[in-house]
Homo-oligomer: A and B are copies of this chain.
Amino acid sequence: MPTVTVVPLPPLPEIQPGDDLPALIAQAWWELAAAQPDLAPRRNDVLVVTQKAVSKAEGKLVDLTTITPRPEAVAFAKQWDRDARQVEVVLRESAEVLKFERGIVISRTHHGFVCANAGVDASNTGQKDIVTLLPDDPDRSAAQIRDRLPALLEISAEMAPAVVISDSFGRPWRFGIVDVALGVAGLAPLIDLRGTPDVDGRVMHSTIVALADEICSAAELAAGKTSRQPVVLVRGIDPAGFNATNPGSVTKDVVMPTEMDLFH
């Protein structure tokens, strides 16, 4: 039975800029495996790491006391009871602003992600007046974590878990946020089932599954929003999703060029 198991790694210490995140992750996994030996690393494991943890470790922090907001940000903040300096940072992180109303900025980030507030986040930063930004290149962030893990976990490179960087995004037409992938390493973010005959022998169309996004959503179910458990182990994913040699890319493969977006 293709059981999928989703287990948070034990809590990490509060992450600080410059912290060795791969080492902290490996340490947590050693702890978990000591308590539950069946959760020691296996081939085709996936680690989902929250953007917040990655951004903190990478020092993607902004001290709002250093920010001078533009007049537009000041007016918007005043009207909607927001922090003008934070609005300014959101605008700086935006390549294209899609909505700027009712206290929320919806924009396309420099990576191409469409989300609220350009991923700028003041929660769980550990300090007043500090906000986190998204990593510059979340695929690279994932690869940098993944590359270090075999040595730290004392496993072969072929056993390296896939790494997915997750964040919580709103979406059109439906209330509620879902966790999606910002970056991947060692995992195909999409699985293309087009051309696979269905049970009637009919060839299915348009069945490209957003594997990495679904993995992030599954991981969120096992992780607490307010906890210091930013890493979740997901085991039991279809082996077809793994590619040890092609690291995969969310920004190249998942982010949709505007001109191809029928929903938009």
**Residues in A lying within 8 Å of B, measured CB to CB:** 1-8, 32, 36, 98-99, 101-102, 104, 106, 113-114, 116, 122-128, 168, 170-180, 189-190, 193, 196-200, 202, 204-211, 213-215, 217-218, 220-222, 224-228, 234, 236-238, 253-256, 261-264
Q: A173's closest neighbor in chain B, by CB? A: B114
A196 to B: closest C-beta gap in Å = 6
A30 to B221, CA, bound (A): 26
Q: Which residues of B contact A256 (CB under 8 A)?
A: 172-175
In contact, A206 and B177 (Cβ under 8 angstroms): yes
Closest CB of chain B to A50's CB: distance in Å?
13
**Nearest chain B residue, comparing its CB with the CB of A215:** B221
What's the nearest-Cβ distance from chain B to residue A258, in Å? Answer: 8
Q: Are A213 and B174 in contact (CB under 8 A)?
A: yes
Chain B residue at smallest Cβ distance from A124: B198
The minimal Cβ–Cβ distance linking A96 to chain B, given in whole angstroms, is 12
Contact status B5-A217, CB under 8 Å: no
Residues of B contacting A200 in the complex (Cβ-Cβ under 8 angstroms): 123-128
A99 to B260: give the CA distance in the assembly, Å.
Answer: 13
The reply to whether A207 and B8 contact each other, CB–CB distance below 8 Å, is no
